[in-house]
C-alpha cells in the first residue's frame, strides 16, 4: 500500500486540530460549493478531511451523504469526535488517498483541499477518478508554485513539508487531462482580506509538544520566505 509521508508540519496541524488550514479556509470552500449541484442524493468524498470541518458543513448545509478520509490518526480521531458531538452521520476513515479501500464509482463529488501536494499527485488523481461516478465532479484547492523552483528551494520545501508534488498551474492541468478529467476550470482567488481568514477552527490536543510550536513558527517563516512563489489554485473538473 502506498502511503503519504508523515511530516512535522502535518503533525503540527493535527495537534492543533486546525480545521481550515487550506488557503481561504471554510469561507472559500463554501463559495466554491455554491456552484455545484449538491443535495440529499449526493454522495461526497472529502479527501484529507482533517478534523472534519468541511465534511460537517456538507452534511449540515446540503444534507448530503458524506465520507471523509485522512491519513493522520489524530485527525481521524478528532473528526470522529466532531461528528459524534454534532450528531452528524458522516463516515470517517483512516486512509491514504493513494489507495482508498472503497469501491469504484461511488461518489458524485470529490473534494480535495491542500492534500495532493503531500501525495504522489498522479497516483492520487487516478484514485479519485476511479472513485467518481461518470460525470462526477472534482474540486481541488491545491498548492501551486508560480514558477519552477531551483534545487535549493525545492529541497528546502520538501524537507520541511514532505511535499511529494510541487506543481505549476500548467503541471496541474496536464495531470488532470492525463487522468481523463474534462471541463477543467480555474476559479478566481478571493480577495486578500477573505484569504487571511484561514485558521478559524481549532480542536487542540490535550497535550501539545513544545517542538510543535517551533514547527508552527518555522511554517510561518516559510510562508513569508516563499511569498509570491508558493500559491494555490481552485480547480474544478468532471470525470469523462
Find the CATH number of the domain harbouring 162. Answer: 3.40.50.150
180 or 222, which is more confident: 180
In-domain check, residue 232: yes
Q: Across residues 86-109, what is the average pLDDT?
A: 96
C-alpha cell belonging to residue 34: 455554491
More confident residue, 41 or 114: 41
> What tens digit of pLDDT does each residue of 174-201 get?
999 999 999 999 998 876 544 444 445 5
Structural domains in the chain (count): 1
Q: Is residue 2 part of a domain?
A: no
Range of the domain at 224: 8-239
Q: Is the residue at 70 inside a domain?
A: yes
Any domain includes 1 = no
Q: Which residue has the higher pLDDT, 42 or 202?
A: 42
Instruction: Return the HEC string of 69-134.
Output: EECCHHHHHHHHHHHHHHCCCCEEEECCCCCCCCCCCCEEEEEEECCHHHCCHHHHHHHHHHHEEE
Contact by Cβ (8 Å): 17, 200: no
Start-to-end CA distance of the chain, whole Å, equals 27
Residue 152 lies in a domain: yes
Average pLDDT, the chain: 86
Residue 3 lies in a domain: no
In a domain, 138, yes or no: yes
157 in any annotated domain? yes
Q: Please, what is the Cα angle at 167 between 154 and 73, to 5 degrees? A: 80
Amino acid at each position: 500500500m502506498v502511503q503519504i509521508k508523515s511530516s512535522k508540519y502535518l503533525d503540527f496541524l493535527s495537534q492543533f486540530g486546525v480545521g481550515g488550514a487550506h488557503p481561504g479556509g471554510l469561507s472559500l470552500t463554501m463559495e466554491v460549493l455554491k456552484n455545484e449541484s449538491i443535495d440529499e442524493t449526493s454522495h461526497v468524498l472529502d479527501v484529507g478531511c482533517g478534523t472534519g470541518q468541511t465534511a460537517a458543513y456538507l452534511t449540515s448545509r446540503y444534507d448530503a451523504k458524506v465520507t471523509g478520509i485522512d491519513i493522520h490518526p489524530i485527525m481521524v480521531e478528532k473528526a470522529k469526535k466532531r461528528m459524534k458531538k454534532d450528531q452528524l452521520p458522516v463516515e470517517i476513515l483512516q486512509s491514504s488517498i493513494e489507495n482508498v479501500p472503497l469501491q469504484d464509482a461511488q461518489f458524485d463529488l470529490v473534494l480535495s483541499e491542500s492534500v495532493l501536494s503531500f501525495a504522489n499527485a498522479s497516483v492520487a488523481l487516478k484514485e479519485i477518478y476511479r472513485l467518481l461516478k461518470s460525470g462526477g465532479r472534482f474540486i481541488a484547492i491545491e498548492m501551486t508554485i508560480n514558477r519552477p523552483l531551483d534545487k535549493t528551494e525545492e529541497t528546502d520545501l520538501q524537507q520541511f513539508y514532505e511535499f511529494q508534488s510541487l506543481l505549476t498551474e500548467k503541471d496541474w492541468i496536464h495531470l488532470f487531462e492525463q487522468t481523463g478529467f474534462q471541463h477543467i476550470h480555474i476559479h478566481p482567488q478571493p480577495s486578500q482580506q477573505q484569504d487571511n481568514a484561514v485558521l478559524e477552527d481549532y480542536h487542540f490536543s490535550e497535550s501539545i509538544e513544545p517542538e510543535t510550536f517551533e514547527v508552527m513558527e518555522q511554517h510561518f517563516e516559510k510562508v513569508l520566505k516563499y511569498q509570491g512563489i508558493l500559491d494555490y489554485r481552485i480547480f474544478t473538473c468532471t470525470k469523462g
